[in-house]
């Protein structure tokens, strides 16, 4: 039986470290504060917002919600971003995306001050992930993958890692971060020849394809550590499923993250951690 790499356990450890840091900042008169900007009432956004608010309150981070109608004008939204930029009491900003089609999403993202970009929405933050230089925070999901591997003592240096997926949100940044930790990384996508072989040869397999159960028993091998980033709603089964077919892979591999309760459980704690960090940096502590 594989070891189950519980994201809930990782999040609990992260939260207690963050609580201590937030309490130390409070003693210095600094209250870490996250602005949440939501346009419209998308159920995905509302559910993430509820999770983020709960996690913030557990850790001792304050939240300022900015809720705008779905037909908000570009200049009105930019004015909110400017207000966040100029408010020294706000340390980070979470902007829900995708924005409605009539808005220029890139322009809105780029308007945010880099030091408040706790969710890696500006091209400057993403460039820092790729260059390994400069300030900025990596995408929370990509960092959550590394938090899990680190928490369970999985050595990365010199390891063969295969990442399935090359999106700018998950696949590419997580690949660069693993490379930065001296892993030997193979990035796969829909045109990859022999995907099962590329996956089997890895010592660590990261699945971020966004397709329920696309990684099956032919993709995994004994001794492997499998991190499943996928969150896919299976309407027929009425439950969330990962990109990995858990029932097929779990008996064969050494360790695996569950879905739900894996990477998704850690992402919000990473975000809150970025806010605490940004507050400490802003206060020069
Ligand atoms: P995305 O933008 O749709 O990208 C999916 C990537 O996977 C693409 O690069 C695609 O290749 C590749 N891919 C798709 N099907 C494949 C297949 N059959 N074989 C090989 N490669 C395949 O998705 P994303 O935004 O990166 O998200 C990936 C997954 O992570 C989703 O399930 C999403 O819900 C989940 N997610 C989880 C969290 C979290 O907190 N846990 C956060 C964000 C996203 P091409 O480039 O060739 O099309």
Task: Kindly report, residue by residue over 40-88, the tens digit of the pLDDT.
Answer: 999 989 999 999 999 999 999 999 999 999 999 999 999 999 999 999 9
What is the mean predicted confidence (pLDDT) over 154-181?
97
10 Cβ partners below 8 Å, 6+ apart?
147, 148, 151, 152, 265, 266, 269
Chain CA centroid to CA 177, Å: 12
Ligand 1 pocket residue status of 165, Cβ below 6 Å: yes
CA distance 35 to 38: 10
* Residue 4 predicted with pLDDT over 90: yes
With bands split at pLDDT 50, 70 and 90, how would you rate the model's confidence at 239? very high
pLDDT category, 257, cuts 50, 70, 90?
very high
Express each pLDDT in 96-119 by its tens digit: 999 999 999 999 999 999 999 999
The pair of structure tokens assigned to 55 is 């996690």
**Alpha carbon nearest to ligand 1 atom 43, residue:** 141
* Beta pairing partners, 254: none
Q: Greatest CA span in the chain, whole angstroms? A: 56
**Tokens at residue 92, please?**
């980070």
CA distance 151 to 174: 16
Residue 133 has pLDDT above 90, yes or no: no
Q: Using a pLDDT cut of 70, give the percent of the chain over it.
A: 100
CB atoms within 10 A of CB 273: 26
Mutate which of 44, 126, 190, 202 to test ligand 1's pocket (most atoms within 8 Å of Cβ)? 190
pLDDT above 90: residue 237: no
Dihedral of the alpha carbons of 54, 56, 58, 59, in degrees to the nearest 10 = 170
- Residue 223 is encoded by which pair of tokens? 């001794």
Instruction: Give which of 63, 115, 65, 107 is closest to 85, Cα–Cα.
Output: 115
Q: How far is the CA of 16 from the centre of ligand 1 (A)?
A: 31
Burial 67-77 (b: 16+ CB within 10 A, else e): ebeeebeeeeb
CA-CA distance, 74 to 149, in Å (whole number)?
A: 40
The residues pairing with 62 across neighbouring beta strands, listed in sequence order, are 33
The per-residue pLDDT of the chain, averaged, comes to 97
Atom of ligand 1 nearest to the CA of 189: 21
- The Cα–Cα gap between 39 and 34 comes to 16
Residues 28, 285 contacting (CB under 8 angstroms): yes
Does residue 175's CB lie within 6 angstroms of at least one atom of ligand 1?
Answer: no
Instruction: State CA 199 to chain mean position distance.
Output: 22
Judge if the beta carbon of residue 120 lies within 6 A of ligand 1: no
Q: Which helix (H) or strand (E) holds 232?
A: strand 232-234
% residues pLDDT > 90 (the chain): 95
Instruction: Determine the distance separating the centroid of ligand 1 and the alpha carbon of 281, expressed in angstroms.
Output: 33
* Whole-number Å distance between alpha carbons of 78 and 104: 10
> pLDDT at position 134, please?
82
Q: Model-level pTM?
A: 0.96
Phi-psi region of 129 (alpha: psi -120 to 50; beta: other; left: phi over 0): alpha
Question: What's the CA gap between 262 and 255, in Å, rounded?
Answer: 12
Nearest to 243 by CA among 255, 222, 226: 226
């Amino acid at each position: 039986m594989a070891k189950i790499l519980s994201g809930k356990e990782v999040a609990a450890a992260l939260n207690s470290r963050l609580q201590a840091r937030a309490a130390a900042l409070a003693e210095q008169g600094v209250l870490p504060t996250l602005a949440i900007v939501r346009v419209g009432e998308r159920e995905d956004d509302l559910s993430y917002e509820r999770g983020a608010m709960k996690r913030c309150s557990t850790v001792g981070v304050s939240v300022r919600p900015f809720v705008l109608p779905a037909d908000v004008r570009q200049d009105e939204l930019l004015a909110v971003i400017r207000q966040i930029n100029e408010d020294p009491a706000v340390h980070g900003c979470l902007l829900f995306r995708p924005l409605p089609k009539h808005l220029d999403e890139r322009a809105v993202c780029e308007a945010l001050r880099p030091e408040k970009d706790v969710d890696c929405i500006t091209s400057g933050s993403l460039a820092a992930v790729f260059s390994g230089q400069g300030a900025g925070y990596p995408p929370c999901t990509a960092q959550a993958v590394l938090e899990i591997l680190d928490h369970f003592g999985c050595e990365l240096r010199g390891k063969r890692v295969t990442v399935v997926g090359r999106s700018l949100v998950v696949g590419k940044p997580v690949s660069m971060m693993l490379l930065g930790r001296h892993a030997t990384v193979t990035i796969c996508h829909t045109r990859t020849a022999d995907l099962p072989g590329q996956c089997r040869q890895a010592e660590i397999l990261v699945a971020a394809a966004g397709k329920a159960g696309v990684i099956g028993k032919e993709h995994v091998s004994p001794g492997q550590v499998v991190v499943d980033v996928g969150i896919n709603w299976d309407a027929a089964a009425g439950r969330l499923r990962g990109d990995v077919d858990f029932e097929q892979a779990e008996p064969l591999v050494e360790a695996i993250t569950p879905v739900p309760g894996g990477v998704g459980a850690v992402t919000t704690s990473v975000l809150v951690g970025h806010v605490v960090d940004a507050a400490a940096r802003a206060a020069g502590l």
